[in-house]
Structures are given as structure tokens and as C-alpha cells.
Chains A and B, each alone.
Chain A
Amino acid sequence: MILRRPFFYIILIIAALFVYFPLHGNNVSLREDLILVAVAVILASNLNLMIGYTGYVNFGHIVFYGLGGYVGIYLVSVRGWNLVLAALVAGVTVSLCALLFGLVILRLRGAYFALATIGILQAVQAFVSNFGPWERSTGMYLSFDAYQPLGGAMRALWITYYLIIAVMALSMILSLAIKNSKFGLGLFAIREDEDAALVLGVNATVYKAIIYSVSAFLPAVAGALMFYKNAMIDPSIAFEFMLSLEGIVMLMLGGQGAVMGAALGGGLYERLRSYLLTSPTLSNFHLVIAGGLLLLVVLFSPGGLIGWFYRLVPGGRKVIE
């Protein structure tokens, strides 16, 4: 049972700290920093389900986040739905889309799949940029009234923050639960050797389609919440290829395959990026630094930070999963 894993309680403590610190002293700027960290953790954790667990690189993971944002904003602004309901429906819709895409492109193995995910991103972006109900390439804006049901903009932003933290905790718990399940074992088998897994009775096609769809759900919910908070969305922001790639950098930096690795990489990279983007001399070079980091990790330390920690602390694997 997942409740017996010590790491489950560590996740709860992390989430509690995320709630406690900004609330203590009503620190809005800390909250804005932490919300970005939380989104990074959500994206990296769910990407880990594909790359780390199943061994399939998804270059277009951001598509789920952006589509979730679009469905969420559409439901809230045009249909006048409640935020939580809209975010959940966004998650379900995007998961179903992912299942549909997955059944087609997951017939491709390994690298061909990775290339197809780049295509999915470009195709979805091209589609949304031409889609009338979502205002084509101009994008959609939320009016100030959209925050009224939650008691005004100020309260609404705090509520969105708590919801995002909840999604972050859920992402990590989901990763932990899958890691400790029979389903997770099947995924690991696919990662190690897909043909052997098939022979041993793992239905690889179904497993891959399910995990692809599952890895879409929480990012889509997070997208709906984040774009609600930002009050605007357009195709170039929603489907930013660079963010998709930075998700891979985060995961490799922290250590693919480990729940804490994804979270750690997401958090650290996001802080690094914020620092670089605000520094006047380095802001132009944040991609260069991200690329350099990725190259160094891939060539010299494929296990990432968490792999290095496991080598240092032999029993660490049992507690920090």
C-alpha cells in the first residue's frame, strides 16, 4: 500500500511547506515564485511517467498543458463554468484526446515516437491557430468578472495557488503509486526491453496508451488553473516548444525514473531559469545554459542528481523514491 511508503509522507510535508511559507506573512512575491516551481514540478513529474518509467521521449508534452488551458479558459469565460469543474473537465478532455493520439502514434517505436510527438505539437498548434471558437491566433482573454465567483481577484489568486499545490502533490503521489504498482512494473519492463515485455505478457500497446493518457491529465488541469490565473491565452504561449524542452532538461537534471528526481529537477531548474532571466547579462543565454546542462548530464551522469545521491547514500533509494 502506498500509505506505508515513507516517501508518501515526505510529499505531504513538501506540499504543506509550500502552503505554509507564502501564507505566513501574506508573502505574494514568494507565492508567485513558488507557483512557477509547482508548475515545473507538475510538468516534470508527469513527463517522468513517459520518459523515466516507459522509456519513450515525449518532446511535445506541453501540448497537454496548453490544450488544458484552452479548454479551461473557454469553459470559464464563454460558458461561465465554475473553475474547479472547468479544470477537471479540461483534464478529462485532454486525457481522452491523448488516448486518441496515443493509439495512433504509439504504434511507433522509440525514436519514431519521439519525432511524432514533435509533429503532434506543431499540428495541434496549427489547428488551434486556425480554430474559430478559440479566437484563432489572437487568443482568448478573461474579463475581470471571471474572478467574481471566487470572491474577487485577490482571493481567486490565492485559491488558484492552493489548487496548483494540490495538483503538484497529486502528481508526485500519482508517480509514487504507479511506481509501486503492477502496472508500473509493466512500464519498466517496456522501458528495458519492449519485445521481452511483450513475450512475458505485458500488453505494451495498451500500457503505453494508458500511460500517455494518464500523463496528460494533471498537466492539463494545471494548465487550466495557470491560464485562468494569467487571464489570457494564445497559441504561442500555450504551446511554447521551449517550455516542452525545458521539461526534459528538468527531468534529466533531477534524475529520470525517480519521483523525487523529477520534482527536484523541476524545482531547481525553475529557480535557475528565473535567476537567469532576471539577470541582465545572462538573460539572453538561458537556453545556452540549459542546453549545456542537458548535454553534461546526458554525457557524464545519465542518472541525474538523484542518481548521484543514490550512489552516495546506499539506502537512500528506499526512502527517497
Chain B
Amino acid sequence: MSGVLASMIDGLLVGAVYGLAAMGLSLIWGVMDVINLTHGSMIALGMFAMYLLFGAIATNAYLLLLPVIAVGLVLGIIVYWMSVHRVVGRPMLMSLLSTFAVNMMVIGIGTAIWSTSPYNVNFSLPGITLGAYTFTGNHIAAAIAAVVIALALQWFLYHTRTGKAIRAVADNREAAELMGISTTAVLTIAFGIGIALAMTSGALVSTLFPFTILSGAVYQLKSFVVTILAGLGKPFGALIAGVLLGLLEGVVTPFIAVSWIPLIEFGLFVVVLVAFPQGIFGKRATA
């Protein structure tokens, strides 16, 4: 029984990282009605950014999150102007396909550089031992980092001018524009933050598990499940929903084979979507 408890606590810690990834997806979805299908590949890029940085500067891996965030912001702005700007406000099909196209390009380039073999970041912090179980330091540190970043984002969205502008645009783009908010600038920043969150969560995952360039897809599915669970436009809700998903995984992993987990997560995704049609997606109905 205590084995399950240990597995649950571990799931809880990893879940905070899922939540951080989902915050990026949820922010972009909520602000500009774009489902960002580059999400998975950006998570994978975050993993490799951490791998390269840690290879270059062998310091505490969690300090390296700061440059990863900066890279993510810049990359996000580039991707926004490349693929999203022209399709914001057009049918969702178009933004799905255009972000998807970028995803294919990133995965293609990544595969050419790193192939699809697994990599890992060789860094570990001392763990905490409770009875027969040890919680690795990396899991604890990653969870703390995720929560700190989530709180920082929450503070940014509610207490700074830019953050308030982002929320205003998410509420009603036309009204925000009439109030003198430059929506283009706000959308660009929001997209940059979304990608930075995706890359940061990828960097955190890289300190926990081995990864390949294709690993992002797994976390993309988890991000969708978490975003749907939390409802759109509620970044902090995404963190909590992420922790819940991690907890759920922690409860089931001792009992079933890991290869069934995508099936369970997908089932959860459909059940939530079908059982709460539109109601839990936040204020706006689907197009």
C-alpha cells in the first residue's frame, strides 16, 4: 500500500511539470483561439536545449532554465510571425494546419541533427529517503521549479500592464483594440510566453527521463488532456489539473503496463469533452 503512496507522490511531482507544459498550450489557445500544434515539437526542443546547454556549461541544470526561457520567447515570436499571424481569426482549420506544418519542419530538422535515438541530461540532485522509498532530488526540484514559474506567470498576468492587456485581448479582442491595446503586440508576446513555457517544461522533463526528438508528442497529448480538464484561459487551473493527471498516472502505474497509458489518457480526454461539452472550456464557445 505504501508503494502506491510513493508512486502517487512521484506522480504528483511529475504532474506539476505536465501542468507547466499545459499552461503554455492553454495560454495560446485562450488568448488567440489557436490550437498550437507546434507544442510537442517545442517541448522536444526544450529537452535538447537543456541537453546542449548542460553539455556546454556543466552547472546546476535548474539554473539553465533561465536561458531556455529566453530562447523560448525569441523562438515563439519567430514562429508567431512565420505561421500564426496570417491565420489568427481565420477558420481554426487554417491555424491547425499552419502550426502543424511548422511542427513537421522542426521534427524533420531535429531528426536530421539528432536522429531518433535517446539522449539524457546527466545531472542529479541528492534525494530524500522516507522509509523504504527514495524520492529523487530531480523530481522534487523540477516540481518546485514548475510551481515557481507558474506562480510567476500568474503574478505577471494579474499584476502587470502587459499581463492585464493579454487577459483583455483573451476576453474580447475588438474591445481591447478599441481601448488602445495593440493586439498584434499582445498576441506576439502571448505566443512567445506560450512557447517559452513549452520549452521550459521540456527542459524540466529532460532532467527526469531520457528523451528523443519525438518525445514531445507524448507530452503534447498530456497537455491537451490537462487543458481540457482545466478549462481554457485558466493557466493556474492547468497547473492543478496537471498535478491531478500526474496523481492519476501515479495511482495506475503500479497496476498496469505503461503502454496502456496513452489509451487511458485519451479515454479521459474524450470523456471530459463529451460529458462537459463546451461548459468547461471557459467563456467562449467553439467556432
B224 lies within 8 A of A57 (CB): no
Given A284-B112, A288-B109, A299-B86, the answer on whether A111 and B96 have CB atoms closer than 8 Å is yes
Which of A57, A111, A127 lies at the interface centre, i.e. has the most chain B CB atoms within 10 A of its CB? A111
The residue in A107, A126, A302 that gathers the most chain B C-beta atoms within 10 A of its C-beta is A126
Compute how far the CA of A108 lies from the CA of B91 in the bound complex, rounded to whole angstroms: 16
Are A118 and B92 within 8 A (Cβ)? no
Name A196-239 residues within 8 Å CB distance of B.
Answer: none
A290 to B103, CA, bound (A): 11
Q: List 16 A-B contacts (CB under 8 A).
A: A104-B270, A107-B277, A108-B273, A108-B274, A110-B286, A118-B221, A120-B266, A122-B263, A126-B260, A129-B259, A288-B109, A290-B108, A291-B102, A292-B105, A293-B101, A299-B98
If A105-B270, A123-B267, A285-B109 are given as contacts, then 4 extra A-B residue pairs at C-beta distance below 8 Å, sorted by A number, are A108-B277, A114-B35, A291-B108, A295-B101
A110 touches B105 (CB 8 A): no
Known: A111-B92, A114-B96, A130-B259. A119 touches B105 (CB 8 A): no
Judged by a CB distance under 8 angstroms, whether A268 is at the interface is no
Question: Number of contacts between A and B (CB, 8 Å)?
Answer: 118
Measured between C-beta atoms, what is the minimum distance from A212 to chain B in Å? 15
Instruction: List the A side residues contacting B86 at CB < 8 Å.
Output: 299
Q: Write the residues of chain A forming the contact surface with B, with a CB cutoff of 8 angstroms.
A: 51, 55, 57, 104-105, 107-112, 114-116, 118-120, 122-123, 125-127, 129-130, 241, 245, 248, 252, 284-295, 298-299, 302
Complex: chain A residue closest to B34, CB-CB: A111
Cross-chain contact A115 with B35 (CB below 8 angstroms): yes
For the complex of A and B, the 4 pairs showing the least CB-CB separation, nearest first, are A287-B108, A291-B104, A119-B266, A291-B105
Which residue of chain B lies nearest to A116 when distances are taken between CB atoms in the complex?
A: B270
Q: Does B6 contact A (CB under 8 A)?
A: no
**A112 B104 Cβ-Cβ under 8 A:** no
Residue in contact with A294 in the complex, picked from B97, B263, B273, CB distance below 8 Å: B97
Taking CB atoms, residues of chain A closer than 8 Å to B98 are 294-295, 298-299
Distance in Å from the Cβ of A280 to the closest Cβ of chain B? 13
Query: Which residue of B is nearest A288, CB measured?
Result: B108
Q: How far is the CB of B117 from chain A (nearest CB, A)?
A: 14
